[in-house]
Amino acid sequence: MTQRSSSPETIKDQVRDHYAQRIQSGSCCSSSSGCCSDRTPTEIALYGAETIAALPKGVITTSFGCGNPVALASLQAGEVVLDLGSGGGLDVLLAAQRVGATGYVYGLDMTDEMLAVARRNAEKAGATNVEFLKGDIENIPLPSNTIDVIISNCVINLAPDKAPVLEEAFRVLKPGGRLSVSDIVIDGDLSVFPVTEEQIRAALSWTGCIAGALTIDEYRTMLNDAGFTDIAVTVQHRYTIDDLPSDTAQIPADVMNGLAGCFTSSAISARKPQ
């Protein structure tokens, strides 16, 4: 894959600062990219008004996601779940309802401000089967072979190096365990445009969940290399040019128009062999 212009640590610092500010301000992303919408509150669009209304009063439901991994995962009572990049804890609380008192849900996030909100949410919801951990998704602070299901919502694309993330996900899953995530994915080949992939990614926003996106082929390859089987990538929504946060002055208008249909919100599923 083309090398990015910023160092991994710089990117992580930018992502951490961006989302710390967003959760403190109570808003979703600063643009209408895959992480949010200016028309309908993201949590309503992704989960439905009925699901959100059923949450206890006082729970902060601000979502930065691009899908509904809890629904995609078809969670069952008694399962142990890990949410990579759990943010304010919305997916963790919804997953906890699905797995019930005999199940357990971990949320992992690197941002103190997100973790603080998530823990307050869990307390307000009276959720006793959840735990929020601080750490990087490239180095999951859990033992091997302990998780039934891994979920994630528009977070893996934010990691500068995705391979360790997927390798760690494989490690902590039990044999037969499954990965079910929503993420921003590129459907196509950026090399076909008259500007380089590096130029395209430099003009797009990491914090807007766009610049770090893998292509469908790259996602499949990395999952396969990590050891996963039964890999599926399903496009659920294609973004318009207005959804791509960018410095448009760096990229010709015809290229931006071509890029619009390439960036998607997709459901990614895979399984760790028995």
Q: What is the pLDDT of residues 154-209, one digit of tens each?
A: 999 999 899 999 999 999 999 999 999 999 999 988 888 888 887 777 777 655 55
| Confidence band, pLDDT 50/70/90 cuts, at residue 3 | very low
Point out which residues pair with 173 in neighbouring strands.
147
pLDDT at 15: 73
pLDDT at 249: 59
Cβ neighbourhood burial of 81 (10 Å; 0-12, 13-18, 19+):
buried
Report yes or no: 52 and 61 within 8 Å, Cβ to Cβ.
Answer: yes
Percent of the chain at pLDDT above 70?
88
Q: What is the pLDDT of residues 136-156, one digit of tens each?
A: 999 999 999 999 999 999 999
Residue 35 in this model has a pLDDT that exceeds 60: no
Distant-in-sequence, close-in-space partners of 145: CB < 8 Å, separation ≥ 6: 171, 172, 173, 174, 175
Spell out the domain ranges in the chain. Answer: 8-185+215-238+263-271
The CA distances from residue 235 to 45, 83, 188, 221, 266, in Å, are 17, 21, 12, 17, 4
CA distance 120 to 191: 45
pLDDT at 42: 83
pLDDT (average), residues 9-25? 74
- Name the more confident of 93 and 7: 93
pLDDT at 99: 98
Which structure tokens are listed for 39?
């028309």
Letter string b/e over residues 157-192, b meaning 16 or more CB atoms within 10 A of that residue's CB: bbbbebebbbebbbbbbbeebbbbbbbbbbbbebee
- Name the more confident of 261 and 265: 265
- Name the more confident of 36 and 52: 52
pLDDT at 1: 37
Percent of the chain at pLDDT above 90?
60
> Torsion-angle region of residue 208: left (phi > 0), alpha (psi -120 to 50) or beta?
alpha
Half-sphere exposure of 202 (CA within 13 A, CB side): 14
Question: Mean pLDDT in the chain?
Answer: 86
- AA identity, residue 145: N
Which structure tokens are listed for 215?
């292509």
SS3 16: helix
Residue 127 in this model has a pLDDT that exceeds 80: yes
Q: What is the pLDDT of residues 37-86, one digit of tens each?
A: 446 788 899 999 999 999 988 898 888 889 999 999 999 999 999 999 99
Point out which residues pair with 265 in neighbouring strands.
184, 237
| Confidence band, pLDDT 50/70/90 cuts, at residue 26 | low
Residue 34 in this model has a pLDDT that exceeds 80: no
Q: Determine whether domain 8-185+215-238+263-271 maps to CATH 3.40.366.30.
A: no
Residue 254 in this model has a pLDDT that exceeds 90: no
- Name the more confident of 60 and 121: 121
Report yes or no: 155 and 162 within 8 Å, Cβ to Cβ.
Answer: no
